[in-house]
Amino acid sequence: MTRWGKIMVLFTGATLVAGCSSTVAGGSPPKPARASQAAVAKAPTAVAETPPGLRALPRSGVGPATYAYTCGIEAAGGTAGACGHWRLLSRDGGQWYLPEALGDYETDGQGGDTAPLAISPDGLRIAYFQASDGQLVVRELASGAITPMRYAFTWDIAQEVRAPSLDFLGKGAWLVISNLTLEDEEEESEVLARVATGQTREDGPGVIDVDDTGPRVTTEVATDAGVGLQTTGGPLRHITATQLHDPRTLSGFIAQDGVAFVLAARNIAACGNDISPDKLVTVDVRTGKNLSVVTPKLPGDVTQGWGIGWLSPREVLVGVTRRRPDDTTVSDTFAIDIMTGAARQTGRFDEARIRVRDTGLVPGGDVVVGGYLGTTPYRAAREKVVPVKQGGCE
């Protein structure tokens, strides 16, 4: 599941704080990642396709990637016809499909899912599970070099193992594989992979940052007292933000270099669809103290938002969904100043424009954002903004 998909789960599930756990990962040393024997015997069966109008990703010579997407859902519960592969967009306008990367898959006739894909913050590499054998790899787009990550995932739908999610952490030196269940334990686990070498290790759930050398991690934890952050060997710091419209939406922090941020929504899912961004909160993970709580100056047609990553010590990148006057939506990215809330548009995933070349694209697919570090300025078109009428809890 992509980061954007996880945000949707956050606001559509019944749990107040999703994506967190009541267990704490700090303190004990990490365990080396174990390769499952079942994974070797039960490799997934990839759903193959040849999208009309698109070329397969070249072996090398590809510029920095900015977005990846799946081709969507035609109707509730039905996968679009001949929709199997991830697609990739590059900063220079390239558009390809990825036959090497596992997209839609089936396992032993028990059903299937969509395998995840991640793009590094600089856009120079992608992480995916190979369609041929389910092996997790990181691929350099310019050179084509592939580094296998030393971890094997159990693709066994019959055992109720969910498809994992992939995210590059920080500046991209580490990859986190989430939504994993250990074979001999009921609790979830996460695997950290060092991108340069492929070395992996297991950690507890909720990892949101790891330092360059790896021994210290920061985890987000859900407790009876609310959301907390903890670094390895340090105390659990409970996070509060009294300025929030609804403090229960405070979750989903993204950390880097000892500072974490979250784009909190106006209300939880029980309040209907009123999940437009409320406040941008930044905290010092070492002390748990708020550094800033500001109202993001986003357009009035934004209906939801989520954090993506850090652009600089002063700016963060967020993704938003915007409602058009004709009741359709578009997905944009904005850079937000953490001290003032000032926002500038940095990109747009325009399904209508992309569909001209990818005729198999229909609404409802996953979208992954990357390549946002070092991008050229985005020239946003002038457009009419229709303010969203806010709902709320009665």
Q: What percent of the chain has pLDDT over 70?
A: 78
CA atoms within 13 A on the CB side of 197: 7
Query: Which has more confidence, 64 or 19?
Result: 64
Region of residue 224 (left: phi > 0; alpha: psi -120 to 50; beta: else): alpha
Question: Which residue is it, tokens 């009123």?
Answer: 274
Instruction: Over range 6-26, report the average pLDDT.
Output: 32
User: What's the confidence (pLDDT) of residue 182?
Assistant: 47
Is the per-residue pLDDT at 20 higher than 70? no
Question: Does position 156 have pLDDT exceeding 50, yes or no?
Answer: yes
Is residue 19 pLDDT above 50, yes or no?
Answer: no
- 260 forms bridges with which residues in the sheet? 255, 283
- pLDDT digits 0-9 by tens, 272-285: 566 889 999 999 99
Average pLDDT, integer, range 351-363: 84
Nearest to 315 by CA among 335, 298, 333: 335
pLDDT of residue 267: 80
If you average pLDDT over residues 297-308, what whole number do you get? 94
In this predicted structure, the answer to whether residue 325 has a pLDDT above a threshold of 50 is yes
Most confident of the ranges 140-144, 151-155, 156-160: 140-144
Rounded distance, CA 112 to CA 167, Å?
A: 21
| CB contact burial 149-183 (16+ within 10 A = b; e otherwise) | bbbbbbbbbeeebebbbbbbbbebbbbbbbbbbee
Mean pLDDT in residue range 171-194: 77
Q: What phi and psi, each to the nearest 5 degrees, are found at residue 337? A: -75, 125
Distance (Å, rounded) from C-alpha 350 to C-alpha 321? 11
Average pLDDT over every residue of 231-245: 90
Question: What mean pLDDT is predicted for residues 59-69?
Answer: 96
Q: Which residue do the tokens 């990367």 mark?
A: 101
Residue 54 confidence (pLDDT): 92
Mean pLDDT of the 206-219 span: 88
CA 259 to chain CA centroid, nearest Å? 19
Res 242 pLDDT > 70: yes
Helices (H), 13-66: 37-41
Residue range 152-181: mean pLDDT, rounded: 78
Partnered with residue 345 across adjacent β-strands are 334
Provide the pLDDT for residue 23: 31
> Exposed, middle or buried, 14 (CB in 10 Å: 0-12/13-18/19+)?
exposed
- Interatomic CA distance for residues 1 and 49, integer angstroms: 21
Round the CA-based radius of gyration of the chain to a whole number and report it: 20
Q: Is 208 helix (H, G, I), strand (E, B) or coil?
A: strand
Query: Helix, strand or coil for residue 277?
Result: strand
pLDDT at 160: 54
| pLDDT bucket at 73, cuts 50 / 70 / 90 | low
Mean pLDDT, rounded, for 280-307: 94
Residue indicated by tokens 């070099």:
145
Q: Are 105 and 155 in contact (CB under 8 A)?
A: yes
Q: How confident is the model at residue 66 (pLDDT cuts 50, 70, 90)?
A: very high
By mean pLDDT, which of 73-77, 97-101, 149-153, 336-340 is the weakest?
A: 73-77
CB-CB contact of 252 with 309 (8 Å): no
Query: What DSSP string runs through 90-118?
Result: ETTS-EEE-TTB--EEE-TTS-EEE--EE
What dihedral angle (degrees, nearest 10) is formed by the CA atoms of 121, 123, 124, 126? 90
Residue-level pLDDT at 391 = 59
Q: Is 32 left (phi over 0), alpha (psi -120 to 50) or beta?
A: beta
pLDDT of 394 > 70? The answer is no
Mean pLDDT score of the chain: 81
